[in-house]
Amino acid sequence: MSAVIDDLRDHWAIYVLMPVIAAFIGYLTKLVAVEMMFRPLEFVGIRPYFGWQGVIPRYTPRMAATAVDLMMKRLLDPQEIISRIDLDELMAKMEIPMHEIVGQLTRDVMEALQPALWLALPEAVQRIIIGQVESSVRPTLDRLIVDIRENVTSVLDIRMMATNALTRDKALTVKMVRTIGSAEMKFIVRMGVPFGAALGVVQAMVWAATHSAWIMPAFGAVTGLTTDWLALQMIFRPLQPKKYLGIVTWQGMFIKRRDEVTRDYAKLISEEILTPANILETMLTGPSSDRFLALIHREIENIIDERTGPIKSIMKLAVGSERYQHARGDISTMLVSGMLERKDELGSFAAGAIDLTELLQEKMQLMTNGEFEGLLRPAFKQDEWKVVTVGAILGFLVGELQLHLLLV
């Protein structure tokens, strides 16, 4: 015992530094582990084994599938989404850009079908024809909306829309996890300090008793591993408030923050996934687009038949009935292409009419704590062992460095 006391007196600085360095190990391993969850977006290194890609970006398809499954189960009902859209405001905002698209389309089609005839028409007549077609935009949009409302599940594949939005943009998936788990990530890093310091005290006692060269790297590994594991557990467990040692009451941090998380998550889903541009693109190009395109084709044919009026017979004689019929189909295709090219612009016009944040918040408030945990837990669960293992390896390496620095 006297030898231990003498050693403490002679090397007190080493013993004081052990908890400090252990706290640093705890902090560093947590910081690196958290960043390795998200960075880099693409694989860096030599495939397949020498290198790294952030856990979230690497498994974006799986993360997206899990997130979308939860959304579809508890949050996203196509009929509810459509019912929350202010259709009058939507139509009023969409009418202006659609007038521009349809007006230009009319000119292009007439010039393509019979340029000589079109150019021969007085400019006033051209404007009348274009005006006749443009006047059909609002009633056509109204009829389309009625059809969409009645057949929303057959024209709008929300699962596909949400999955595509997340998988084609890894940065969006990373942003989603970072947004809803920002406080938890900071908590993981911060908790590395007290956890590490506590283990450093134990490390100092064991070192005093053994002076084994393995103590520092071994405790470094234990510090990295246990602090990572404990921090992850404290984020999600317990689901309900629970008192420990009769003194401290704790509830999983993520669950405790559910009001704040609900607000942030609903805002992100509304602004990044359920956007007017994404909804429009999905209806025009998604797996259920045939139904929506058929509705557009029908309305285009009606417009052409109704609005070409005075020159309809002339057009058929000039270009031939068969070509005239083909032209009607071409117009539908050109209209869809024009809408796709300007989907972001159309989406920005419609943005004010489609705000689903409140709906998503209402739905999320009905989730159980277990279901709510599923918003973030899948980002860690399957690859939790990787985060913990990285923490252990980094802790071992820093512990080895600690051994060499302190005992020089």
Taking only the tens place, the pLDDT of each residue in 220-269 is 788 778 877 888 888 888 888 888 877 888 888 888 888 888 888 888 88
Note if the bond before 139 is cis, omega within 30 degrees: no
User: Which whole number is the average pLDDT over 47-56?
Assistant: 81
Q: Which residues of 70-80 are buried (b: 16+ CB within 10 A; e: fewer)?
A: bbeebbbebee
- Nearest CA to 256 among 353, 167, 187? 187
pLDDT at residue number 318:
54
pLDDT at residue number 328:
61
pLDDT band at residue 305, thresholds of 50, 70 and 90? low
User: Which whole number is the average pLDDT over 296-313?
Assistant: 65
pLDDT band at residue 407, thresholds of 50, 70 and 90? low
pLDDT at residue number 380:
67
| 288 and 157 Cβ atoms separated by less than 8 Å | yes
pLDDT at residue number 189:
85
Half-sphere exposure of 291 (CA within 13 A, CB side): 16
Query: Does 90 have pLDDT greater than 80?
Result: no
Query: Does 171 have pLDDT greater than 80?
Result: yes
Average pLDDT, the chain: 77
CA dihedral 406, 17, 230, 224 (to 10 degrees): -20
pLDDT at residue number 70:
78
**Token pair for 244:** 């420990």
User: Which whole number is the average pLDDT over 17-38?
Assistant: 82
Beta bridge partners of 249: 243
pLDDT at residue number 227:
77
Residue scoring higher pLDDT (96 or 185):
185
Q: Read off the DSSP letter of residue 286.
A: S
Query: Does 385 have pLDDT greater than 70?
Result: yes
Q: Of all helices (H) and strands (E), which one includes residue 349?
A: helix 343-350
pLDDT at residue number 159:
83
Query: Does 373 have pLDDT greater than 80?
Result: yes
* Percent residues over pLDDT 70 in the chain: 82
For residue 198, the SS3 value is helix
Radius of gyration of the chain (CA): 32
Query: Does 165 have pLDDT greater than 80?
Result: yes
User: Which whole number is the average pLDDT over 315-322?
Assistant: 57
This prediction has a pTM of 0.69
Q: Sign (positive/negative) of CA torsion 384, 385, 388, 389?
A: negative
Taking only the tens place, the pLDDT of each residue in 270-287 is 888 877 778 778 877 777
Residue scoring higher pLDDT (292 or 4):
292
Q: How many CB atoms lie within 10 A of CB 295?
A: 19
